[in-house]
Amino acid sequence: MTTRFLMTALITLYLVSAPFGNQAHAEGAKKETVFRILVLGDSLVSGYGISKEEAYPAVLEAKFRQNGYPVKVINGGKSGDTALAGFNRLPFHLKQNPDLVVIVLGANDALKGLEPGGAYAAIEKVIKLLQSQRIQPVLMGIKSPRNLGDAYAKKFDSIYPILAQRYNVPFYPFFLDGIALKPEYNLSDRVHPNPDGVRVLVQNTSPFLMNIVYQMLMSMYAPQQQQQAQPEDMKEKTVSE
């Protein structure tokens, strides 16, 4: 059995069963067997200064598919967005029926020196809205520029692990790990990743994200297999109870 065949089978089972997944997606499973990932963010993911095909969502999708995952990655990035602006756009993107949302928000809050509590509150709203609709959130950490002072940086950087722990959300500590402050991986503004930088981001983050998707799929598959493996008398007992 090929990896792609296995992943397609698991995704089909996940979408059709959907006990905590989104029902609209389940209803359309026969038309399109694909697991949808929304990347909700700002210019770090939208493709600022590069083509959409070179942007993080497109390269991430290609990486998933190279590894046998029938996945669609939706570009939910918008240049200039603060965390609150990202939250305000979320209902629109939810119409695309994502199964998982990667949250990459807060960089513009830090660049503008906004109060960290505002970013915390906005990202908290994103997480709570997703969880209320039984959509899996994943939180990517962002770090404040150090020229804003140690006190600000400490307060800002801490909002991500605090939110992840409070809401039991999978957490990647620093989205720009491996490319931050490295000219060869960024545009001339030294802020936004160039195509090489995007490839590094995908190389670093894709194993983490693939593991989450795999665990989501297996959480659906294992109970189904366990139920099928039960002797008939045990199944009858379970039903009668």
Tally the C-alpha atoms within 13 A of residue 82's C-alpha that lie toward its C-beta: 16
43 labelled catalytic = yes
Catalytic one among 46, 144, 157, 192? 192
Pairing of strands 100-104, 136-140: parallel
189 labelled catalytic = yes
CA distance 132 to 123: 14
157 labelled catalytic = no
Catalytic one among 132, 150, 189, 233? 189
* Chain position carrying tokens 């994943």: 138
Catalytic one among 43, 46, 144, 206? 43
Q: Which residues are catalytic?
A: 43, 189, 192
